Amino acid sequence: MELIDLLLLLFIIFLIILSGIMSGSETALTAVSKPRIISKATQGSKRAVYVKNLIHNKENTISSLLLSNNLVNILASSLATVFLYDLFGVPGILYATILMTILIVIFAEVLPKIYSINRPNRTALFIAPTIYYLNKVLYPLVYLINLVSKIFLKNIIIKSKNTLDEESEEELKGMIDLYQTSNPDSEHEKEMLQGILTLNDTTVEEVFTHRKNISNLKNFVLKRSFPIINYNFFIS
């Protein structure tokens, strides 16, 4: 193996490690404890301030990480294809595809994400300064990508928002149906909660009392309050 081939192989390994760091950073920044980070930032931790800024601009942060990660993976796969093609010819393309798929899935996706989901705060604090400046460098490109994405996804987002509201209501109804306690009034409480969810579907005509029925209500109240007294005297 020539020196250039060895350097190429080492560079591919470096790119896989870099891809793993970016994947782990994405997971850590989405799973990090916001109250703990804010507390550390208040106490003067510079790294916590970086994390706080990244969380505040989560859309740009995730876009930067995804863009960088995809570019790194594409570059690593391309270099691996060139490397194995020189060694094995045309079959080297197939070997590179299989090998890079396995390496990227295991070492650049699964393992970093498992580590980060178990140690999100530590990972986020460690990597935050690097990701912060990466955002600064990629901001023009990320801004353009987000702008194009919003244009294409505008109608889909509106529809998905309506669908999400319906799904949330159905989920709440399901939680109410599962609500069980030893309290004998639990059924009444369930009915009240279900009534709140269906309030938007209730019309005024269904709940209001017509004024012609108000006199009957007066009769009822007076009968219950003063059963011995002639209540018609008070109404007239």
CB distance 166 to 174 below 8 Å: no
Residue 122 structure tokens:
């530590």
**Among the ranges given (54-58, 139-143, 202-206, 220-224), the one the predictor scored with the smallest mean pLDDT:** 220-224
| Residue 228: per-residue pLDDT | 47
Q: In which band, very low, low, confident or very high, does the pLDDT at 202 lie, cut at 50, 70 and 90?
A: low
In the chain, the amino acid numbered 51 is V
Nearest to 73 by CA among 93, 103, 116, 49: 103
What pLDDT score does 229 carry?
47
Question: Once rounded to an integer, what is the mean pLDDT over residues 58-65?
Answer: 91
